[in-house]
Structure 1
Amino acid sequence: MRLLILGGTEFVGRAVTEEALARDWDVTVFHRGRHGAPPGAAELLGDRTAEGGLAALARGEWDVVVDTWSAAPTAVRDTARLLAGRAGHYAYVSTASVYAYPPPERLSEASPVVDGSPDAEARDYARDKRGGELAALDAFGDRALLLRAGLILGPYENIGRLPWWLLRIARGGPVLAPGPRDLALQYIDARDLAAWTLSAAERGLGGPYNLVSPSGHATMGGLLEACRRATGSDAELRWTDPGRIIAAGVEPWTQLPVWMPPGEMHDAFHRGDVAKAVSAGLRCRPVEDTVTDTWNWLCDLGGVAPQRPDRPPVGLDAETEAKLLRGE
């Protein structure tokens, strides 16, 4: 199989590249040259936002294209149109954020989505991703595979969610643990996303798929306990009532990464219907493996996690955590 990965050097793109190389695929990485491609991949350089930036893609044929773009849909539109006659399948890594709010009782691929346009410049994340979906569909039709991923964790994460928890717990001492302890989580390891994507594209699957673990694959308690074991920390997890956390003005998801208190938003983030992807072969590794491998990767980096420049840092500051732990 010949794979063209648009990006391919960071987080999800890198996971796709490494999975394809492990399958002995012929892999070409198209990127801006800011980070090195994994060994074994051919490289083409270009900037999709610049005039003439797709020149390196003017020639070549591929069985599968994987695109992780998350800004202006016009970049997906122009690339997909350029490749439509020379590529078999186009897998676009979208997001569950394309679903309209408020969500129905349980999100499925048939749930309403936000408006978007393949001809739009960058506006906001959800509409940009929906525009990217429409661009892929316009150029590839039923050869377009839309991966509506939820929360993505694992090695190479450059958003900072799991790295923040690992580094905080590694410091030890009392740790604010947002409850309830058995709160169901729904996420996907980037490597499981990569494996499913390549297999689905190879089989010729098309259309939208909610790509995330079944709800309850892990719990908040299981995630944080796995962090404590992986780091070897003596941290004391102090489980705290969600109402008290919210009353203190702490923002779920950003100040306390991964966590959403029970309610409508939690159900939207962590109770989506993934039956379609599971029936198409999605398999998710245990949370302990994701946490341990991410910790080992962080240690290799000297305990400093990379940060995407277009995303704000996440995590709770020490002063606010201390006040909550003291009951203030």
Structure 2
Amino acid sequence: MRLLILGGTEFVGYAVTEAALARGWEVTVFHRGAHPAPAGVTALRGDRTAADGLAALAAGEWDAVVDTWSGAPSAVRDTARALAGRAGRYAYVSSGSVYAYPSPDGHDESHPVVEGSPDAGAVAYERDKRGGELAAIGAFGEDGALLVRAGLILGPRENIGRLPWWLNRIARGGPVLAPGPSDLELQFIDARDLAEWTLDAVAHGLSGPYNLIGPPGHTTMGGFLEACVRATGSDAELRWTDPERILAAGVQPWTDLPLWVPRGELYETLHRGAVDKALASGLRCRPAGETVADTWSWLTSLGGRAPQRPDRPALGLDPRVEEELLGTPVRA
């Protein structure tokens, strides 16, 4: 397979690149040059937001394209149009955020989506992703566009800061605020599992939307944090705390305590999506403990400092708030 990856040098794009190279595919990476391209690819430079930014893509043919863009939908539109007729399929890594809120427990690909336009500039994440979907469909048609509606993505090279924050916090050891209940089920997908499924999907000619996330109950909050303790080898003591007490202290779910949200509408939207369609088409998800352990290995290779996307805020709980909730000092 001849694969063109739009991006390919960070997190999800890098995982797709590595997986494709491991299959012996011929991989071209189109990127801005902010990060080194993986060894073994043909690297093309260009900025999709610039007037002549697609010049490097003026020639060439590919069996499939994978696009991880999360900005203005118009950039997806222009790129997809430029490649139409010279690429077999267009896989756009979208998001479960395109579903209208709230998304009920068990929501599948038929759930209503937000409005979006392929011609829009950057507006809001969910509308940008929906506009990107429409741009891919507009250029490649319903049968040629694969919409990978990813949920929470974790794994090595994460540049958002969710799993890295938890690992670094637990590595410090001592009493750790653990947001309850411990049996709260979580859904996420390892970027490497997303990459493998996406490559299988384009190779088999799949199209249309697919929820791409681990099955409901892939792990629990307790299983996740205990895996962090095992991976880091720390003496962390998980202090399970009721959601009501955490919220009363002004702690923000999802951002102050990454991954965690109490049961309710937001929880069902983020952690209760249906993945039957993806599982039936071959999605395989590695154990949560493997994702945690591999991310820790990668993080320690960087001295504990994970890369941070400049367009995303830093995450994590203020140690002073954690101390107040625990009633005891925490390790800096």
CA-to-aligned-CA distance 1:217-239 (integer Å, 9 cap, x gap)? 11110110000000000000000
Matched, 1:47 2:81: no
**Separation of aligned partners in 2, 1:117 and 1:62:** 26
Structure 1 CA distance, aligned partners of 2:321 and 2:107?
34
Distance 1:261 1:326 in 2: 22
- Structure 1 position 134 matched with structure 2 position 127: no
Q: Which amino acid aligns with 2:92?
A: Y
Q: Once the 2 structures are TM-superposed, how far is the Cα of residue 265 of structure 1 from its aligned partner?
A: 1.0
Give the letter aligned to residue 298 of structure 1: L
Identity %, equivalent residues:
73
1:208 aligns with 2:238: no
- Hey, what's the Cα distance between the residues in 2 that align with 1:270 and 1:295? 23
Instruction: Tell me the residue number matched to 2:160.
Output: 159
Deviation of residue 169 (structure 1)?
Answer: 0.1
Match for residue 287 of structure 1? 288
> Counterpart of 2:27 in 1: which secondary structure?
strand
CA distance in 2, matches of 1:140, 1:187: 29
The CA deviation at 1:326 is 1.1
User: What amino acid is the match of 2:29?
Assistant: V
TM alignment of 1:108-147, pairs within 5 A: 108-141=108-141, 142-147=143-148
Question: What corresponds to 2:194 in structure 1?
Answer: 193
Q: What is the rounded CA distance, in whole Å, between the counterparts of 2:318 and 2:64 in structure 1?
A: 43
Q: Which amino acid aligns with 2:124?
A: D
Indicate the SS of the match to 2:114: coil
Q: Is the aligned partner of 1:247 residue 2:248?
A: yes
Structure 1 match to 2:56: 56
Q: Shift of the alpha carbon at 1:92?
A: 0.2
Letter in 2 for 1:187: F
Alignment: residue pair count: 328
Give the AA of the match of 1:182: D
2:8 maps to which residue?
8
1:11 is displaced (CA, Å) by 0.3
- TM-superposed CA distance for 1:105, in Å, is 3.8
Shift in Å at residue 106 of structure 1?
2.5
Deviation at 1:57, TM superposition (A): 0.2
* Cα displacement (A) at 1:263: 1.3
Q: Post-superposition shift, 1:307?
A: 0.3
**Structure 2 CA distance, aligned partners of 1:241 and 1:265?**
17
Deviation at 1:20, TM superposition (A): 0.3
* Aligned mates of 1:232, 1:84 — CA distance in 2: 51
Show the counterpart of 1:307: 308
Other-structure match for 1:230: 231
Amino acid at match of 1:323: E
Q: Secondary structure at the match of 1:27?
A: strand
2:84 alignment counterpart: 84
State the partner residue of 1:26.
26
Which consecutive unaligned segments of at least 5 residues does structure 1 have?
Answer: none
Q: 2:104·2:268 contact (CA, 8 Å) conserved in 1?
A: no
Tell me, in whole angstroms, the C-alpha distance in 2 between the residues paired with 1:101 and 1:232: 39
Letter in 2 for 1:15: A
Relative to the length of structure 2, the TM-score reads: 0.98
Structure 2 Cα separation of the partners of residues 304 and 267 of structure 1: 32
1:165 counterpart SS class: helix
CA distance in 2, matches of 1:234, 1:48: 47
In the alignment, residue 244 of structure 1 is paired with which amino acid? R
Q: Deviations over 1:108-167 (max 9, x none)?
A: 100000000000010000000000000000101111000000000000000000000000
**Contact preservation (8 Å) 2:29, 2:43:** yes
Offset, 1:262: 1.1
Distance between the aligned counterparts of 2:288 and 2:106, measured in 1? 23
Tell me the secondary structure at the aligned position of residue 92 of structure 2. strand
Paired AA for residue 176 in structure 2? V
What secondary structure sits across from 1:268 in the alignment? helix
TM-score between both structures, scaled by the size of structure 1: 0.99
| Secondary structure, aligned partner of 2:138 | helix
RMSD over aligned Cα, in angstroms?
A: 1.0
Structure 1 CA distance for aligned equivalents of residues 297 and 41 of structure 2:
24
Structure 1 Cα separation of the partners of residues 42 and 238 of structure 2? 46
Alignment-mate amino acid for residue 226 of structure 1: A
